[in-house]
């Protein structure tokens, strides 16, 4: 059986569908309830943040590939607004390529998160891209890495550790020195 876990709700449903096959239905229900409770708790906490940042999530650097759907969803749950939500609906990386990087400059994200699928995120390389010195995240040093095994695999790690990393980055920004007004 092949199951696509392209969204957080589908991932939860998949656990409920798959685990009974290995005689673990009770554990599946408990685990999915635990995961859902965590998602709900993070969403509740992020709703109390004083502001929501614009977030650019980069899955790959050359070519630049923006966030896949479940990452975009998790950014929203954690309290951010992903700058390319329409692209996030595409399942294939080739359909999420940001061919014109000035699109990111125009979106002016307040946080940039890199997760370059198996290689180290290089914030200094991102900051050095032509025109990116004008991006809010670059000006304020809000360039972060989340290791790809924590966020780019659609499953438990993304729903737990990946979400926790997003929440920490976004909450720290929201409560930062400019929390009363922030840049817009």
* Domain 54-174 fold: Rossmann fold (3.40.50)
Report residue 27's pLDDT band, with 50, 70 and 90 as the boundaries.
Answer: confident
Residue 2 confidence (pLDDT): 35
Residue 157 confidence (pLDDT): 87
Contact 164, 39 (CB under 8 A): no
Q: Indicate whether 160 pLDDT > 70.
A: yes
Report residue 118's pLDDT band, with 50, 70 and 90 as the boundaries.
Answer: confident
Q: What is the mean pLDDT of the chain?
A: 86
Distance between CA atoms of 19 and 141, rounded to whole angstroms? Answer: 43
Distance between CA atoms of 136 and 94, rounded to whole angstroms? Answer: 27
Distance between CA atoms of 139 and 127, rounded to whole angstroms? Answer: 9
> Beta-carbon neighbour count of residue 112 at 10 Å?
25
Report residue 60's pLDDT band, with 50, 70 and 90 as the boundaries.
Answer: very high
CA 170 to chain centre: 10
Residue 159 confidence (pLDDT): 87
SS3 content of the chain, % helix, strand, coil (to 5): 55, 10, 35
């Amino acid at each position: 059986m092949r199951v696509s876990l392209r969204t957080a709700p589908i991932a939860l449903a998949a656990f409920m569908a798959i685990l009974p096959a290995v005689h673990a239905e009770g554990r599946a229900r408990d685990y999915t309830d635990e995961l859902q409770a965590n998602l709900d708790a993070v969403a509740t906490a992020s709703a109390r943040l004083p502001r929501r940042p614009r977030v650019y999530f980069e899955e790959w650097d050359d070519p630049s590939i923006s966030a896949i759907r479940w990452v975009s969803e998790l950014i929203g749950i954690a309290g951010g607004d992903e700058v390319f939500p329409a692209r996030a609906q595409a399942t294939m990386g080739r359909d999420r390529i940001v061919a014109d990087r000035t699109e990111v400059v125009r979106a002016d994200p307040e946080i940039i998160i890199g997760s370059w699928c198996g290689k180290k995120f290089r914030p200094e390389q991102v900051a050095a891209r032509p025109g990116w010195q004008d991006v809010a995240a670059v000006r304020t040093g809000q360039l972060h890495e989340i290791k790809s095994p924590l966020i780019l695999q659609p499953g438990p790690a993304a729903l737990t550790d990946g979400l926790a990393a997003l929440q920490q980055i976004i909450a720290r920004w929201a409560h930062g020195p400019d929390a009363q007004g922030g840049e817009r």
